[in-house]
Amino acid sequence: MCSEYNSNDERQSGISRRDFMKYMGVGAVGVSLSGTAMAGGNNLQPPEKILEAADRVKIRLHINGREQAVLVEPRWTLLYVLRESLGMSGSKEGCGRGECGACTVLIDNQPRYACMTLAVEAEGRHITTLEGLMQGEELGPVQTAFLEEDAFQCGYCSPGQIMAVEGLLRQNPDPSLDDIRTGVSGNLCRCGAYKNIFRAAQKAARLK
């Protein structure tokens, strides 16, 4: 009965089971291809290309009064180049997304997050890192003030805090306490040594 019913049904519909399956297969392929096309229309980005050494570009960075020629990939951050290419480990990597301030450096005397700045962006600018505050083998005024006022605990955020204060004092040699709070507001201290940091900034202003 079942076989007879199917045969009659196929004759009435004008399409055989074999033709039906064939058309369904073609349709599935079409849907799949259209889905791929639609995905392309949604501006999905292709996988990130891994650059070869030949794709690197040569740039010149003015760091702490010296010019450094370095070969970089365009996507490398200034922080990565400072630490990994030039061996300047004073700038620390904390969050890697511009929230903690541990990587703060000065670019044209303005505090900037090195983790959020591409190395190629910094070409031709004047960069100052923690190492550049040293006076020979002696600590600079801000570094000295941080040491004397015990403005750190674990010390990981200290390089960024020092650079933020240095940048503030270059713009405002006699800051108020509110100015100092604003000046270091982009730098986080998980140890909570803020009171000592504020005192160190006030002392650094007197030492400069």
The pLDDT tens digits of the residues spanning 58-70 come to: 999 999 999 999 9
**pLDDT bracket for residue 208 (50, 70, 90):** confident
> What does the pLDDT read at residue 111?
98
**pLDDT bracket for residue 122 (50, 70, 90):** very high
- The reply to whether 46 falls in a domain is no
Burial 77-100 (b: 16+ CB within 10 A, else e): bbbbbbbeeeebebbbbbeeeeeb
Range(s) of the domain holding residue 24 = 2-41
Tens digit of each residue's pLDDT (9 = 90 or more) over 65-93: 999 999 999 999 999 999 999 999 999 99
- CATH code where residue 170 lies: 3.10.20.30
**pLDDT bracket for residue 42 (50, 70, 90):** low
pLDDT mean across residues, the chain: 85
Tens digit of each residue's pLDDT (9 = 90 or more) over 147-205: 999 999 999 999 999 999 999 999 999 999 999 999 999 999 999 999 999 999 999 99
Residue type, 12: Q
| pLDDT cut 90: percent of the chain above it | 73
Helix spans in the chain (H) = 2-13, 17-41, 78-80, 141-148, 158-171, 177-183, 194-207
Residues 11 and 77 in one domain: no
Residue type, 63: I
Question: Does residue 119 contact residue 78 with C-beta atoms inside 8 Å?
Answer: yes
Residues 34 and 77 in one domain: no
> What does the pLDDT read at residue 15?
54
Residues 32 and 120 in one domain: no
Examine the pLDDT at 2 and tell me if it is beyond 70. Answer: no
Tens digit of each residue's pLDDT (9 = 90 or more) over 21-36: 555 554 544 444 444 4
Residues 20 and 86 in one domain: no
> What does the pLDDT read at residue 4?
45
Residues 37 and 57 in one domain: no
- The reply to whether 87 falls in a domain is yes
Q: What is the tally of structural domains in the chain?
A: 2
* pTM of structure: 0.74
- In order, the DSSP letters of 115-151 are GGSBGGGGTTSEEE-GGGG-BTTBPPHHHHHHHHTT-
Residues 117 and 96 in one domain: yes
**pLDDT bracket for residue 44 (50, 70, 90):** low
Instruction: Return the axis-axis angle of helices 158-171 and 194-207, rounded to nearest 10°.
Output: 40
Q: Which residue from 152, 155, 151, 154 is spatially nearest to 202, judged by alpha carbons?
A: 151
> What does the pLDDT read at residue 18?
58
Residue 201 dihedral angles phi and psi, to the nearest 5°: -65, -40
